[in-house]
Structure 1
Amino acid sequence: MTGTTDTARPVRDEHHSVGELVSQATEQLSHLVRQEVALAKEELAAKGRRAGRGGGLLGAAGAVAYAGLLALAGTATAALSLTLSVWAAALIVTGALFLFAGLLAAAGRAQLRRAAPPRPEETLGSVRADVEEIRERAHR
């Protein structure tokens, strides 16, 4: 034994062949893709449930508002018929209702045009981050 010290690095027992590394990477990527798809499905399902409940409540509100509008139209016609003939009063109220419906339709159409398509934003962000991480590691 001489007085020299051994400065060699410790040998790791984890030597993998290229085939094993490719197999592991493929398996991990497949697992990652399955997880991202599951996340997207859950996110869209949750958004769909909320939209369904909201749509149902809006539909019920619309039905009640429609009944109220009919009652208001009858009241307005009766009130105008005190000063005008009944047919003229009914014609004025009908014209006002069609004008109001046209305004609502235009506003609704504008809202639909501005609405974003329903996309799983969180999942898309996660997938982008995953792809960027894979690219960075591939360049190393």
Structure 2
Amino acid sequence: MRFEIEFSGHENIRSNHQKTIEITKESHLTPQGDCIIGVNANHACADLPQDLKKKLKNSDSNITFSIDVGDYNFTVEGKGHPDLILTHTEDIVIRKSDFVCPRTLAVKCDKASDLLPREMVTLLQDPKTKGIFTITIN
């Protein structure tokens, strides 16, 4: 199963967080949002199809996240969790930890926003830049 979410860049994207990656439907971003890699997303947790949510709630699910911006690709591996709530109407967060809240899409991820290639981050600091956040569950 595969699902794509489109998002845009923002001048305040820093991508320095060591534990999470976030995309949001919000258009405003302060420099404190250092895990956020994209704004104006066309989906948040609450918007995901039910069959995808069901797979995300399976602790045996291996999930691959692919972030594509320009010529750059960044891949993160994570796990599903039975306690995922998936009801947040604005945000999606993937986490290295096991922490679960309404914004959490996956846990035990192998990377966070601080590892995004800096060239990709530079592109994302332009509001005209578009990106694709792809969720793949086999």
TM bucket (normalised to shorter chain) is under 0.3
The structure with the larger Rg is 1
More helix by share: 1
Q: Which has the higher contact order (CA 8 A, sep 6+)?
A: 2
Give the TM-score of the pair, scaled to structure 2. Answer: 0.20
- Between Structure 1 and Structure 2, the one with more strand by share is 2
Q: TM-score, normalised by structure 1?
A: 0.20
